[in-house]
C-alpha cells in the first residue's frame, strides 16, 4: 500500500519536472518571443530593410532609380581615374567656409571614419596599423605625395588603391569638413600655419548652421 502511493508520488514529481523542463526549454534565444497582437506590431507599410516579394530579389533596400538624386546632392564632375585625381588635386577647391563649427565637425567625423587607419594625428598610426591589421598607411606629411584639399576630397569620394570610397557614409558638406581637418593635421605635422576659422560675421551663418543641424524630424 505504502509503496504504491510512493510510486504515484514519484510519477507526479516526474510529470511536474517534465512540464517545467518543457516550459523552460521553450525560451530559445535564437527565436523571437511570442507577441500579444502581432497585427499591432507588424507594420502595414514596407519597412526599411524589409524582405517583401514585390521587390526584385525581395529586398526593400534598393538603389535609387537611374537619374534621380538625393536632396542637396551636387554632381561631381571629376572621373574616378588617375587623370581625374590629378585634375582634382590641381583645380578642385572647397565650397565650404572654414568656421569653428566646420572644423569641429571635421574633427569629429575624421575620428570616426579616418582615424582607425590614419591615426588621430594623421601620422598613419591608427589603431588598425598599430595592431598590424592594415599596414603601410602613410603620414600626411609624406614627402612623396602631393596632398591638396581637392585631392583629399576626391580620394574620399572614390577611394584610392586599397582605400575604399566614403561617399556612402558621408555627404558633400561632411567630406569637405573632413578635408579641412586633414589639411590642418598635415599642417600640424609639417609645422606650417593652420586654417584660420572665419569670424561668424552676422546672423546669416548662424541661421544656416542651426537649420542644417536640426535635420531628421
Partner 1 sequence: MDNNLIDRMEQVPYRNLPSKLSLLLLTMLFALTVANPVAAATNILPTQAIDTAAGEALFKANCAACHKLYKKATGPALFQVGDKYEKKWLYSWIKNSQEMVKSGDAQANAIFKEYNGAVMTSFPQLSNTDIDNIIAYTYKAKKAVAAAAVTTATTSSNSGGFSNDLILGALVLVFGLLVVMLVLVQKTLKRIAEANGVTYAEKPARKPIWQAFIDNQFLVLVACIFMLLSSGYFAYGYLMQVGVDQGYAPVQPIHYSHRIHAGDNQIDCNYCHSSARKSKHSGIPSLNVCMNCHKNIGEVAETTLAEGKNEYGVDYNAEIQKLYAAVGWDEDTQSYTGVSQPVKWIRIHNLPDFAYFNHSQHVTVAGVECQTCHGPVEEMEIMYQYAPLTMGWCINCHRETNIQVKENAYYEKIHEELSKKYGVENLTAAQMGGLECGKCHY
What span, in angstroms and rounded, lies between the C-alpha atoms of 123 and 117?
Answer: 9
Q: Of 10-18, 67-75, 137-145, 188-196, which part binds partner 1 (CB under 8 A)? A: 137-145
Position 70 contacts partner 1 (CB under 8 A): no
Q: For partner 1, which is the closer residue by CB, 124 or 149?
A: 124
Q: For partner 1, which is the closer residue by CB, 132 or 193?
A: 132
Residue 194 contacts residue 188 (beta carbons within 8 Å): yes
Shortest reach from residue 195's CB to partner 1, in Å: 21
Position 44 contacts partner 1 (CB under 8 A): yes
Pick from 17, 59, 93, 192: which binds partner 1 (CB under 8 A)?
A: 59
Shortest reach from residue 100's CB to partner 1, in Å: 11
Buried-state track 149-188, b at ≥16 Cβ within 10 A, e below 16? bbbbbbbbbbeeeeeeebeeebebebbbbbbbbbbbbbbb
Residue 207 contacts residue 132 (beta carbons within 8 Å): no
Instruction: Tell me how far apart the terminal alpha carbons of the chain are, to the nearest angstrom.
Output: 76
By CB under 8 A, what part of segment 145-184 binds partner 1?
145, 159, 161-166, 168-170
Q: For partner 1, which is the closer residue by CB, 72 or 192?
A: 72
Q: For partner 1, which is the closer residue by CB, 31 or 66?
A: 31
Position 49 contacts partner 1 (CB under 8 A): yes
> Please, which residues have CB within 8 angstroms of residue 209's CB and are 6 or more apart in sequence?
99, 101
The DSSP symbol for 159 reads -
Q: Of 11-19, 66-74, 138-146, 197-205, which part binds partner 1 (CB under 8 A)? A: 138-146
Position 111 contacts partner 1 (CB under 8 A): yes
What span, in angstroms and rounded, lies between the C-alpha atoms of 1 and 7?
Answer: 10
Residue 78 contacts residue 154 (beta carbons within 8 Å): yes
Position 137 contacts partner 1 (CB under 8 A): yes
Position 30 contacts partner 1 (CB under 8 A): yes
Residue 140 contacts residue 182 (beta carbons within 8 Å): yes
Q: 588635386: which residue's cell? A: 89
Position 8 contacts partner 1 (CB under 8 A): no
What is the contact surface with partner 1 in residues (CB under 8 A)?
29-36, 40-44, 48-49, 51, 57-59, 61, 81-82, 111-113, 116, 124, 127-128, 131-138, 142-145, 159, 161-166, 168-170, 206, 210, 213-217
Amino acid at each position: 500500500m505504502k509503496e504504491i502511493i510512493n510510486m504515484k508520488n514519484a510519477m507526479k514529481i516526474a510529470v511536474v519536472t517534465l512540464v517545467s523542463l518543457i516550459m523552460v526549454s521553450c525560451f530559445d534565444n535564437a527565436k523571437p518571443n511570442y507577441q500579444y497582437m502581432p497585427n499591432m506590431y507588424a507594420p502595414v507599410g514596407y519597412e526599411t530593410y524589409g524582405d517583401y516579394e514585390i521587390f526584385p530579389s525581395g529586398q526593400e533596400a534598393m538603389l535609387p532609380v537611374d537619374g534621380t538624386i538625393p536632396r542637396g546632392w551636387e554632381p561631381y564632375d571629376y572621373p574616378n581615374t588617375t587623370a581625374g585625381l590629378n585634375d582634382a588635386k590641381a583645380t578642385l577647391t572647397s565650397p565650404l567656409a572654414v568656421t569653428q563649427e566646420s572644423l569641429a565637425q571635421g574633427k569629429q567625423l575624421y575620428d570616426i571614419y579616418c582615424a582607425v587607419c590614419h591615426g588621430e594625428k594623421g601620422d598613419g598610426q591608427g589603431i588598425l596599423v598599430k595592431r598590424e591589421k592594415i599596414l603601410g598607411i602613410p603620414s600626411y606629411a609624406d614627402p612623396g605625395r602631393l596632398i591638396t584639399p581637392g585631392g583629399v576630397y576626391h580620394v574620399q569620394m572614390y577611394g584610392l588603391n586599397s582605400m575604399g570610397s566614403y561617399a556612402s557614409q558621408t555627404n558633400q558638406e561632411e567630406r569637405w569638413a573632413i578635408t579641412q581637418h586633414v589639411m590642418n593635421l598635415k599642417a600640424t605635422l609639417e609645422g606650417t600655419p593652420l586654417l584660420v576659422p572665419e569670424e561668424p560675421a552676422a546672423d546669416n551663418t548662424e541661421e544656416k548652421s542651426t537649420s542644417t543641424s536640426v535635420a531628421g524630424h
